[in-house]
A and B are shown apart, each in its own frame.
Chain A
């Protein structure tokens, strides 16, 4: 074990970040690159130094240069897998590959055009995705450096590349990693999840040109395979948390909409996907009260808070206070809408 003063048990950062960055971006060995990225991720998380991640210079690309690579895990567990499509290559026959490519592009475009952010790290980071991960795999996740998608089991879940908002959700985990760095547990983890749902939904709304009033405010609509007599609408609802599904196989959507029903158990990293319903609903209430297109004002407020006001251990009250404050910049009506929204969910 490390004997350095100041290093937490089992964790030591003897290699300086700039060397690790070089390995992560230039090593010809994918295993070395992966290990270096993971170490950088740990350093950013454990030291709480958002700067160490923000300085991560992936490439000197011009702002707005999109770089997507899609890999195929061929139903195994090795990442990233076999390269099957790079930026600019034509679509092939594999639907999951095409969706991962197209939706990563729409997500990049949203961040670039709406929020003036150049990829997840704001330095043009390449967007890597692996599809066909594992077998019957009912999940998608962000591993600190790339997105990973399963094909679903074909019984409960369809392929996880199917929904633009799910891909936007995963990439927003990357944005959070490079900005607030919200720790993935308890309230900070629920905020991390909520920002991913909020921007996942906004990416979908912007692509469809929907106003806040017209949007469905669902995450993963169509991902659950329909079954007669059950409710398999979506994974989550920002409009009505707790109503997205109710099914003998899946159980009932456990999300609360307000602090009154706050989940205090230990499952799901102390409820990161459960209690996210509370800030999700606050965003929905604020955005619909403000009106118009939700990404223009409400989205701008939440983005400024994520990227400049929150940190590793921020809690709901911190997000509420920060969004209330930032909302004032957008006028009294926005300020009142945000204030009322948080009050309505008990914060």
Chain B
């Protein structure tokens, strides 16, 4: 049984596709140890909500036109979990919330909303 309550050490997110941005974008890697305590807590909360251990490796998507594809990986000290999902494939919202937080976090401070 995977313990998802332990703090993750790395969270990775990569996107491709969509109407605007066809090429695979660079993978965003967040090293949790480098985050301030408040952000670490937020990230851990988002990771728990995403329930990575309960997700399939790949959501079987129908390939809707212009759908974005996201690949999320969470690495804990002793294991890791990866899930791939696309717009409109029925994946749970917490996966989008985790991916969105990681992508936003990578942005320069003055450009974050």
Interface residues of A (CB under 8 A from B): 10, 38, 41-42, 45, 76-79, 134-144, 148, 153-155, 157, 160, 166, 169-170, 173, 176, 183-185, 192-193, 196, 220, 223, 235, 250-251, 254, 267-269, 271-274
Set A78, A157, A173: member contacting B65, Cβ < 8 A: A173
| CB proximity to A under 8 Å, residues B57-71 | 60, 62-68
| CB proximity to A under 8 Å, residues B10-26 | 16-24
Query: How many angstroms from the CA of A144 to the CA of B65 in the assembled complex?
Result: 8
Interface residues of B (CB under 8 A from A): 16-24, 60, 62-68, 87-88, 93, 96-97, 100, 103-104, 107, 111, 113
Selected A-B contacts with CB under 8 Å, 19 pairs: A10-B60, A134-B96, A136-B104, A137-B100, A139-B68, A140-B66, A141-B64, A142-B65, A143-B67, A148-B87, A153-B113, A155-B111, A166-B19, A184-B64, A223-B20, A250-B21, A267-B24, A269-B17, A272-B22
Contacts of B64 in A (CB 8 A): 141-144, 184
Is B100 touching A273 in the complex (CB atoms < 8 A)?
Answer: no
Given contacts A141-B87, A141-B88, A143-B88, contact A274 B66 (CB under 8 A): no
Is A134 touching B20 in the complex (CB atoms < 8 A)?
Answer: no
Is B65 touching A220 in the complex (CB atoms < 8 A)?
Answer: no
Is A38 touching B17 in the complex (CB atoms < 8 A)?
Answer: no
Distance between A194 CB and nearest chain B CB, rounded to angstroms: 12
Contacts of A173 in B (CB 8 A): 65-66
Is A141 touching B19 in the complex (CB atoms < 8 A)?
Answer: yes
Is B66 touching A142 in the complex (CB atoms < 8 A)?
Answer: yes
- A274 and chain B: residue at smallest CB distance: B22
Distance between A9 CB and nearest chain B CB, rounded to angstroms: 11
Contacts of A134 in B (CB 8 A): 96, 100
Contacts of B23 in A (CB 8 A): 251, 254, 267-268, 274
Set A10, A144, A267, A273: member contacting B19, Cβ < 8 A: A273
Is B65 touching A184 in the complex (CB atoms < 8 A)?
Answer: yes
Query: How many angstroms from the CA of A77 to the CA of B100 in the assembled complex?
Result: 12
Contacts of A273 in B (CB 8 A): 17, 19, 22
Is A141 touching B68 in the complex (CB atoms < 8 A)?
Answer: yes
Which 9 A/B pairs are nearest by Cβ-Cβ distance? Answer: A273-B22, A268-B22, A141-B66, A143-B88, A173-B65, A139-B18, A77-B93, A184-B63, A267-B24
Is A138 touching B18 in the complex (CB atoms < 8 A)?
Answer: yes
Distance between B106 CB and nearest chain A CB, rounded to angstroms: 11
Is A140 touching B19 in the complex (CB atoms < 8 A)?
Answer: yes
Is B62 touching A42 in the complex (CB atoms < 8 A)?
Answer: yes
Query: How many angstroms from the CA of A271 to the CA of B17 in the assembled complex?
Result: 9
